[in-house]
């Protein structure tokens, strides 16, 4: 490219020089003509002037021919390269346009480095890239041809599979038709059997109605028997309620002081005994049920407790060692449940709950089959939502109380708690 630029610049310089020479040649010719005019007047100088004129003419012709050759060469080169004015009489390529095109082309072909500055070095890079792209295109064409062959093979396999599938479907359709005909024949036989079974079912239905009547009658008798047994069970439960008739004593007297004022019992803190708890003292004689006095716990130890005797019924029958002691709510080992109903002021509801918790009794929100006691407080002046009532309600009028009676739950009034526990 550099050589093209030098050549172009050199041609332009030569063409300018040629133009100058032509001008001078014209001037010279003019002078020669004037000289010839004067030469006519001097015959002696005529021959010399003629020679000079011929020489100048030859030189002018040679210069004109050189200039025309140079212009032709520049024109041919510019037409081959491009980047010239199409309307100019003599085409001349623009060096700046060629240089800008080379730089732009280098941006497209990254292989062209900084050393590539002309078309001579750029064209091999373009050719190399073209060959590489042609090779890639050919590889892609080969890949397409391979994929086309595979596609045609798959299409042939698919058509073969479709033909086999159609044959299989035709066979299955024939089998289905045969099966439908067989099913039709079987249906006719089954319809005859159904008619027979319907007749049998009618007879069985009559028998079933009779059996159901007998079952209903038996169920009614069973329900009556169950109600009778439940009533008997509730009656027996009421008779053996723990509060009203304890089955076994909670403990016995270990020691009694003179004057029967204090003593010791054989149960203590390990058996849920606490200070302030009271026990009924009953004679240890077989069959005795009379209460001699009350024993109030004043101090507890793990396996025994100190008690104070109060309310001795008969001074001639004081408490003695071996007498039995009872508390209706104490159970040294078992876990029981209770429900509270009514108003609790003295003791408060929280005190009652704490007492029951110490005795191993869980307070439930409502009566169920696991409830052992219903602890009954005083009459209620507010409902369960805390709204004041126009007239007080007795706990015995509540649904909870009636449910406890129906289920045989032991009902313990608050006064019995006061009799056996200190508040």
What is the average per-residue pLDDT within 208-226?
Answer: 71
Mean pLDDT of 358-385: 88
Q: Which residues of 187-200 are buried (b: 16+ CB within 10 A; e: fewer)?
A: eeeeeeeeeeeeee
Residue 231 has pLDDT above 60, yes or no: no
Q: What is the token pair recorded at 414?
A: 């608050």
pLDDT of 194 over the 90 cut: no
Q: What are phi and psi of 304, to 5 degrees?
A: -155, 170
Q: Where are the domains of the chain?
A: 2-93, 248-328, 334-423
Distances (CA, A) of 251 to 66, 280, 359: 153, 11, 15
Q: pLDDT at position 235, please?
A: 42
Q: From its phi and psi, is residue 386 left (phi > 0), alpha (psi between -120 and 50) or beta?
A: left
What phi and psi values does residue 282 have, to the nearest 5 degrees? -120, 145
Predicted confidence band of residue 95 (pLDDT cuts 50, 70, 90): confident
What would you report as the CA-atom Rg of the chain, rounded to the nearest whole angstrom?
68
User: Residue 276: left (phi > 0), alpha (psi -120 to 50), or beta?
Assistant: left
Residue 203 has φ and ψ, to the nearest 5°, of -65, -40
The yes-or-no verdict on residue 116 having pLDDT over 50 is: yes
Tokens 């020691």 found at:
255
Beta strands at 305-310 and 262-265: parallel, antiparallel or unpaired: antiparallel
Surface-to-core class of residue 352, CB atoms within 10 Å of its CB (0-12 exposed, 13-18 middle, 19+ buried):
buried
Question: Which fold, 334-423?
Answer: Rossmann fold (3.40.50)
- pLDDT given at position 135: 87
248: tokens are 């076994």
The pLDDT-based confidence of 421 (bands split at 50, 70, 90) is confident
CATH fold of 248-328: Thrombin, subunit H (2.40.10)
The token pair at 283 is 């004679």
Q: In this predicted model, what pLDDT tens digit does every residue of 66-92 receive, in sequence order?
A: 877 887 888 777 777 777 777 877 787
Instruction: Assign 415 to helix, strand or coil.
Output: helix
Mean pLDDT of 367-385: 87
User: Under DSSP, is residue 87 helix (H, G, I), strand (E, B) or coil?
Assistant: coil
Query: What SS3 string covers 234-255?
Result: HHHHHHCCCCCCCCCCCEEEEE
pTM: 0.40
């Amino acid at each position: 490219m550099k050589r093209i630029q030098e050549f172009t610049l050199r041609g332009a310089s030569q063409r300018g020089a040629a133009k100058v020479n032509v001008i001078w040649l014209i001037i010279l010719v003019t002078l020669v003509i004037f000289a010839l005019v004067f030469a006519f007047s001097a015959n002696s100088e005529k021959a010399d002037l003629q020679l000079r004129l011929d020489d100048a003419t030859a030189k002018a012709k040679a210069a004109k021919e050189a200039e025309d050759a140079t212009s032709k060469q520049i024109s041919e080169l510019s037409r081959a390269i491009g980047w010239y004015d199409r309307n100019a009489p003599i085409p001349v390529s623009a060096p700046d346009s060629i240089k800008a095109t080379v730089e732009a082309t280098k941006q497209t072909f990254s292989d062209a480095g900084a050393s590539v500055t002309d078309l001579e070095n750029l064209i091999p890079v373009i050719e190399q890239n073209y060959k590489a792209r042609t090779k890639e295109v050919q590889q892609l064409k080969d890949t397409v041809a391979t994929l086309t062959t595979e596609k045609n093979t798959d299409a042939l396999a698919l058509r073969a599979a479709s033909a086999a599938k159609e044959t299989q479907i035709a066979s299955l359709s024939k089998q289905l038709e045969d099966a439908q005909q067989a099913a039709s024949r079987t249906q006719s036989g089954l319809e005859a059997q159904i008619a027979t079974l319907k007749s049998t079912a009618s007879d069985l239905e009559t028998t079933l109605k009779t059996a159901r009547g007998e079952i209903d009658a038996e169920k009614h008798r069973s329900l009556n028997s169950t109600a009778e047994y439940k009533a008997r069970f509730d009656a027996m439960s009421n008779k053996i309620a723990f509060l009203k008739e304890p089955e076994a004593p909670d403990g016995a007297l270990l020691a009694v002081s003179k004057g029967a004022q204090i003593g010791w019992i054989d149960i203590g803190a390990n058996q849920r005994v606490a200070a302030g708890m009271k026990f009924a003292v009953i004679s240890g004689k077989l069959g005795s049920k009379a209460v001699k006095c009350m024993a109030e716990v004043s101090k507890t130890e793990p396996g025994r407790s100190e008690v104070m005797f109060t309310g001795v019924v008969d001074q001639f029958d004081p408490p003695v060692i071996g007498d039995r002691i009872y508390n209706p709510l104490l159970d040294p080992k078992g876990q029981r449940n209770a429900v509270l109903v009514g108003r609790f002021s003295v003791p408060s509801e929280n005190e009652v709950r704490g007492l029951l918790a110490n005795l191993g009794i869980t307070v439930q929100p409502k009566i169920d089959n696991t409830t052992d006691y219903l602890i009954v407080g005083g009459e209620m002046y507010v409902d369960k939502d805390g709204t004041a009532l126009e007239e007080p309600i007795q706990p015995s009028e509540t649904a909870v109380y009636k449910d406890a009676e129906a289920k045989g739950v032991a009902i313990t009034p608050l006064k019995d708690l006061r009799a056996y526990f200190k508040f």
